[in-house]
Structure 1
Amino acid sequence: MASLARHQLQQCISPFALRSYLAELISSFLFVFAAVGSTISARMLTPEVASNSSSLVATAMAQAFALFAAVYIAVDVSGGHVNPAVTFALAVGGHITVPVGVFYLASQLIGSILACLLLHLASAGQAIPTPKIATEMTGFGAAILEGSMTFALVYTIYVAADPRAAAEAKGGSKGHRSAVGLMAVGLVAGSCVLAGGSLTGASMNPARSFGPAIVSGDFKNHAVYWVGPLIGAGLAGLVHQNLIYPSSTLNSIDVV
């Protein structure tokens, strides 16, 4: 037991692990900066309209492209999780150890906080928007919706990352498979923002919600954006590796 704990500790502080944490921090910073920044820009451009459809489309596109880029720049180093829910799903599936997952989580949250701090300071004190639940919805309903959208996102990530799916792609090159997988992840995220953005904010990412909450000090209904995504992500991983592709040999999010 002592040797196992020592081995896990060595894994957590190895040079490769430290590079992975830095990659997750940078990618999370990039994604949250684009996601929250696009929301601020949309609000400033259409201040008289609380929920303008064009603003929703713009933020959905920004998040889709940002997630595509954020995963791309980290996938070869850390696996490109960029989301505590993804890290949680992989830990539940046994693809990463819990200690490494904790360091990934810390890196993602720090990246999110730094992005929101920069936006707050650079925008001359503009309020940092936090995901909100529509007045017609309950917290329970919002958690179910967030969980469902996160299920779709994480399931897509699992499919894109599974090496057997890549091997089954007829005539597809490795680079082509990588681009298609990353694009699918970004597109499903953008689609979910269009579907649920006006209902819950379509966070699907606890780090995406945590940074704005810390900087703005607004933690109203914050538990929804942890409980829903974590449950949805865990279910997505279990469904994929036990029902769709049993006995997966997937070790990390790796679509290259």
Structure 2
Amino acid sequence: MENNVTSKDEGKKNKKCNKSLLQRYREATYEEIFNKVLVPILCEFCATLLHTFYGSMISPPTSPIVHASINRTILPGENAADYVVSALMPALQAGFAVWMIIVVFIKITVIQFNPVMSFSFMLVGLLSPYMFIPYVIAQLFGSATGAWIAQSIKGDEPGPFRIAEGLNVGAVVGAEVMSTGVMVFFGLAMTFDKKYDQATGPMAIGFTIFQGILAGRWVGSSCFNPSRAFGPSLVIGDWKHHWVWWVGPGAGSLIFTIVYMTFFAPEGKAWGVRIPNKFLKEKRKEHPTEVTTMSNNHTSHPV
């Protein structure tokens, strides 16, 4: 009886999985489409807009700023040598912004606001492949909107990510791989494991950004999010070295996703167990006699 019920449930699941995207769209109610498609995409747009806006507003000026109230003019690059202003403040701003945004949207959707995070979530099954492209488009559009608003308010560049002349581009890519990878690892640990109950998870992800910016300070790495770099680049039309902010974070996301899913995923879901088990099952189907012989040889007999 139980086996019949199980087989029926599995049949329903397989039938549902075999349905095309168009079939599922036709069968879905407006409420389902609104809550499961439109709202998450809108959340990605709003989250990336906020992230880019705040980051762009704190960026150092590229033209002189006159403060009449204190009778002083701040020149571009004036605070470049000040560690607190040029490194610590941006790191704190980015870390707290990520923490704040995750907490704001965490009860609505599994917020990502980063194409490489969405890519990782798609690889492990937390994000439907059909939603990946809409998510990324919403993230890029949100970043461009946030950068444009910041530029309109500041009257200055919206904090584009640039690699200064003379810096080692390979070192920047390497730092992006490591820092983004750690961020993705934390994100998977918090969302993929259903038993995860640490309320400080969003804060931990925010502090990976904080640590990553400080760690990459001297090599010129501080992005970890392709959409965050896309908006300012689009607004000012500067695409030099833009590929770095896609290749480095993308590679880090892929590498650390594989590491997490192979060794650290919850019991029964780790690729390090599932893949060998799948291979052994297929081998048993192809060579049932060999498997039977092996099992008979290893059967324990009473003395």
Q: Same fold (TM over 0.5)?
A: yes
Query: Residue 34 of structure 2 aligns with which residue?
Result: 15
Deviation at 1:133, TM superposition (A): 2.1
Query: Residue 254 of structure 1 aligns with which residue?
Result: none
1:71 aligns with 2:102: yes
**What TM-score comes out, normalization by structure 2 length?**
0.71
Deviation at 1:67, TM superposition (A): 0.4
Q: How does 1:151-230 map to 2 (within 5 A)?
A: 151-166=181-196, 174=197, 177-178=198-199, 180-230=200-250
1:128 aligns with 2:158: yes
Deviation at 1:8, TM superposition (A): 6.2
Deviation at 1:9, TM superposition (A): 5.3
Query: Residue 4 of structure 2 aligns with which residue?
Result: none
| CA distance, structure 2, for counterparts of residue 238 and residue 76 of structure 1 | 27
For structure 2, the 5+ residue unaligned runs are: 1-16, 66-73, 271-303
Distance 1:8 1:63, change over 3 A: farther
**Residues 144 and 232 in structure 2, CA contact (< 8 A), matched pair in contact too:** yes
Higher RCO, 1 or 2 (CA under 8 Å, sep at least 6)?
Answer: 1
Query: Residue 3 of structure 1 aligns with which residue?
Result: 19
Residue of 109, 112, 117 corresponding to 2:148 = 117
Distance 1:240 1:127, change over 3 A: same
1:27 aligns with 2:71: no
| CA distance, structure 2, for counterparts of residue 68 and residue 3 of structure 1 | 38
**Residues 190 and 201 in structure 2, CA contact (< 8 A), matched pair in contact too:** yes
1:243 aligns with 2:263: yes
**Residues 70 and 82 in structure 1, CA contact (< 8 A), matched pair in contact too:** no
The amino acid across from 1:132 in the alignment is: R
Per-residue CA deviations over 1:155-207 (Å, capped at 9, x if unaligned) read 111112233452xxxxxxx5xx23x0011000111111111134334100001
Deviation at 1:94, TM superposition (A): 2.7
1:137 aligns with 2:137: no
Comparing both structures, which one devotes a greater share of its residues to helix? 1
Q: How does 1:49-128 map to 2 (within 5 A)?
A: 49-55=79-85, 56-123=87-154, 125-128=155-158
| CA distance, structure 2, for counterparts of residue 29 and residue 116 of structure 1 | 8
For structure 1, the 5+ residue unaligned runs are: 167-173, 250-256
Deviation at 1:87, TM superposition (A): 0.2
The amino acid across from 2:97 in the alignment is: A
Q: How many residues align?
A: 237
* CA-atom RMSD in angstroms: 2.5
| CA distance, structure 2, for counterparts of residue 214 and residue 9 of structure 1 | 33
Distance 1:7 1:84, change over 3 A: farther
**Residues 29 and 114 in structure 1, CA contact (< 8 A), matched pair in contact too:** yes
- What's the % identity of the aligned pairs? 22
Deviation at 1:86, TM superposition (A): 0.3
| CA distance, structure 1, for counterparts of residue 243 and residue 75 of structure 2 | 29
**Residues 61 and 190 in structure 1, CA contact (< 8 A), matched pair in contact too:** yes
